[in-house]
Amino acid sequence: MKFLMPFAALAVLAMPASAEEAPAPSKGEIKLAKMLEGRVAGEPERCINTFGSGNLQVIDGTALVYRQGKTLWVNRTRNPDSLDDNDYLVIRKYGSSGQLCKLDNVTTHDRTGNFFTGVVFLEDFVPYRKADG
């Protein structure tokens, strides 16, 4: 019996964690979920019309959100972990200056030291509008 005890302990350690143990959502995911509450996702688009960047919000480690009237455009980016709400964005647009597009060049810079902190690779923009009713 004593001989089998170490093997039984190894078997317990090798068992996969239960499916119920999902990772807790990040603060950014929680914040985005609250912003999108009562909204329905529409068809993703490569470009959105923008008028300045004052309505562009960085959700830490999660997404970029652009508010256009009653619509929230969400871009989860290819590397959302690099998004830091303490950084500011520098956007170099290609083509029309009135649009923000998936292929535009976006870099991040530290607000306090003004130094380069990373590159953001945009994905399609998903519109979220209030659900009818």
Residue 12 within a domain: no
Q: According to the model, what pLDDT value does residue 73 have? A: 97
What is the chain's Cα-based Rg? 21
Neighbouring residues of 111: CB distance < 8 A, sequence distance ≥ 6: 86, 87, 88
| Phi, psi for residue 42 in degrees, rounded to 5 | -105, -165
Cβ proximity of 54 and 90 under 8 Å: no
Residue 17 within a domain: no
Residue 19 within a domain: no
Q: Enter the DSSP assignment of 27.
A: H
Residue 13 within a domain: no
Neighbours of 26 (CB within 10 A): 15
Residue 59 within a domain: yes
Residue 112 within a domain: yes
Residue 43 within a domain: yes
Q: Enter the DSSP assignment of 45.
A: B
Two structure tokens written together for 50: 């923008």
Domain tally for the chain? 1
What is the pTM for the complete model shown? 0.79
pLDDT one digit per residue (tens) for the chain, 133 residues: 554 455 455 555 555 555 577 888 899 999 999 999 999 999 999 999 987 656 899 999 999 999 999 999 999 999 999 899 899 999 998 877 789 999 999 999 999 999 999 999 999 999 999 988 5
Residue 21 within a domain: no
C-alpha 4: how far from chain center: 48
Residue 88 belongs to what domain range? 27-130
- Quick check: helix, strand or coil at residue 91? strand
Neighbouring residues of 36: CB distance < 8 A, sequence distance ≥ 6: 72, 74, 128
